[in-house]
């Protein structure tokens, strides 16, 4: 895109948002038009537009009806004889139960007075927070896990400990698409690098009935994996290579759009709870190879704790993805432990409509004055949930390399 096109896109996003301090409805609750505009704005700020199914709703939960045919329904026809069998359809439901999210922030009176934008900076800050809300929602939708990852306290709060860990309660709100995809078709690339062969094999791991219409399928990967694949295509001395080098158009391995998702990490963070037996006991992790292993009690919460010590309490075989206890008193047999680690790259393949994002229409952007601190306080409140409508129609490639 040219600079002019980028500026126009930014202008359209601002105009779409309707996130201005003067447009707020009574008590901060957005009216239906504003709610839809806000949802459009949030989705436009991510890579999800056109690559997942967005469902907007009012009630506290939403059921999506599923209907399908699981076997052959056609039988031989004999003259003057009725078929001896009758086939039907299979029905079930997918339930979305959104969790409430809040983006709280403050603007000081002093900042309002001295900034270069003057009074309009208030609207600018609110829009920036709306954009960040979209990014945070994408992070949760992709990588959420109800077990809750162990994170350095300094990563979660200002002036937190740089050696002790707390539970990431935000990412524990619900299981995101990566975690839910573990129930789908799993294809292990065993650490080999991203390539056209990988995409071919991942496609072949999908049941044939789900890959008939390739234009509706999507490969979802990290930005780094998308860039490395683009680099390989760009090295070809062909028109396609020039296009990959010079444009931002999506690559289409085997006719399927390849979408780089900013909040899908090149090495996703994974969490498991594992019970160890009497030492020495070795347990295999969900993925391998692994890196950056941190082990804490499974009861980890908001109070920071010191993690167990590698080569003192346990050892790690990073290549194999296994952990072995060493028999110390700290990790006693029969205990349950939270294991947080990074895995090699992961790639999703499915019909874009199979990834369901539910967003409640009851959106609030509220403002209040703190007269003693001379601050204006804001809170953006939303409700979201994600689901996979047909998990057998989703394929997950794991252990994808980065060369």
What domains can be seen in the chain, in order of their start residue?
3-61+96-147+356-386 (3.30.2400.20), 177-265+393-400 (no CATH), 269-343 (no CATH)
pLDDT at 74: 65
Q: What average pLDDT score do residues 63-82 get?
A: 62
Q: What global pTM score does this model have? A: 0.83
Distances (CA, A) of 388 to 28, 63, 294, 327: 32, 12, 29, 41
Task: Choose between 46 and 325: higher pLDDT.
Answer: 325
Q: What average pLDDT score do residues 230-235 get?
A: 92
Task: Choose between 31 and 358: higher pLDDT.
Answer: 358
pLDDT at 25: 39
How would residue 11 be classed by pLDDT, with cut points 50, 70 and 90?
Answer: very low
Q: What average pLDDT score do residues 51-78 get?
A: 69
Q: Is the pLDDT of residue 19 over 90?
A: no
pLDDT at 290: 94
Q: Is the pLDDT of residue 98 over 50?
A: yes
Least confident of 33-42, 68-77, 151-160: 68-77
Q: Is the pLDDT of residue 164 over 90?
A: yes
Query: Among 66, 65, 64, 67, which residue's Cα sits nearest to residue 54?
Result: 64
Instruction: Give the whole-angstrom CA distance, residue 73 versus residue 82.
Output: 15
- The angle at the Cα of 273, spanning 268 to 143, to the nearest 5 degrees, equals 25
Q: What single DSSP character describes residue 193?
A: B
Least confident of 10-24, 26-40, 138-152, 257-271: 10-24
Query: Among 158, 23, 129, 99, which residue's Cα sits nearest to residue 377?
Result: 129
Instruction: Give the whole-angstrom CA distance, residue 289 versus residue 317.
Output: 8
Query: Among 183, 97, 104, which residue's Cα sits nearest to residue 383?
Result: 97
Instruction: Give the whole-angstrom CA distance, residue 141 versus residue 178.
Output: 8
% the chain with pLDDT above 90: 47
Q: What average pLDDT score do residues 46-72 get?
A: 72
pLDDT at 50: 85
CB 93 within 8 Å of CB 65? yes
Q: What average pLDDT score do residues 100-106 get?
A: 87
pLDDT at 264: 94
Q: Is the pLDDT of residue 23 over 50?
A: no
Whole-number average pLDDT of the chain: 84
Q: Is the pLDDT of residue 291 over 90?
A: yes
* Pairing relationship of beta strands 395-400 and 185-188 according to DSSP bridges: parallel
């Amino acid at each position: 895109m040219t600079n002019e096109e980028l500026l126009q896109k930014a202008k359209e996003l601002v105009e779409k948002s309707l996130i201005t301090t003067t447009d707020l409805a009574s008590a901060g609750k957005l009216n239906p038009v504003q709610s839809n505009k806000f949802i459009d704005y949030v989705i436009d700020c991510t890579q999800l537009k056109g690559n997942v199914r967005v469902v907007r709703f009012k009630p506290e939960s939403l059921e999506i009806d599923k209907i399908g045919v699981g076997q052959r329904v056609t039988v031989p026809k004999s003259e003057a004889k009725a078929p001896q069998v009758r086939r039907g359809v299979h029905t079930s439901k997918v339930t979305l139960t959104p969790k409430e999210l809040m983006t709280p922030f403050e603007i000081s009176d002093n900042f309002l007075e001295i900034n270069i934008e003057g009074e309009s900076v208030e609207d600018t800050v609110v829009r920036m927070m709306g954009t960040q809300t979209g990014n945070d929602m994408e992070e949760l939708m992709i990588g959420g896990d109800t077990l809750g990852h162990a994170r350095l306290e300094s990563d979660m709060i200002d002036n937190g400990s740089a050696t002790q860990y707390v539970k990431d309660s935000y990412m524990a709100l619900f299981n995101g698409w990566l975690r839910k995809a573990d129930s789908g078709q799993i294809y292990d690339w065993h650490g080999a690098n991203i390539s056209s062969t990988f995409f071919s094999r991942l496609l072949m791991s999908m049941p044939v009935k789900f890959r008939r219409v390739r234009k509706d399928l999507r490969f979802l990967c990290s930005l780094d994996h998308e860039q490395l694949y683009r680099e390989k295509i760009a090295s070809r001395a062909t028109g396609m290579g020039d296009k990959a080098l010079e444009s931002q158009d999506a690559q289409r391995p085997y006719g399927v759009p390849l979408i780089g998702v900013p909040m899908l990490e090149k090495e996703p963070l994974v969490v498991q709870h594992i019970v160890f037996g009497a030492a020495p006991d070795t347990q295999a992790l969900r993925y391998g190879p692994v890196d950056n292993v941190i082990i804490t009690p499974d009861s980890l919460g908001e109070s920071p704790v010191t993690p167990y010590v590698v080569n003192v309490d346990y050892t790690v075989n990073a290549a194999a993805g296994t952990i072995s206890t060493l028999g110390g008193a700290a990790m006693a047999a029969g205990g349950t432990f939270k294991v947080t680690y990074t895995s090699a790259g992961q790639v999703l393949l499915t019909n874009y409509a199979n990834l369901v994002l539910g967003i409640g229409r009851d959106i609030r952007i509220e403002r209040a004055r703190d007269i003693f601190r001379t601050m204006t306080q804001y809170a953006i409140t939303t409700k979201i949930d994600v689901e996979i409508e047909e998990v057998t129609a989703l394929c997950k490639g794991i252990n994808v390399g980065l060369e």
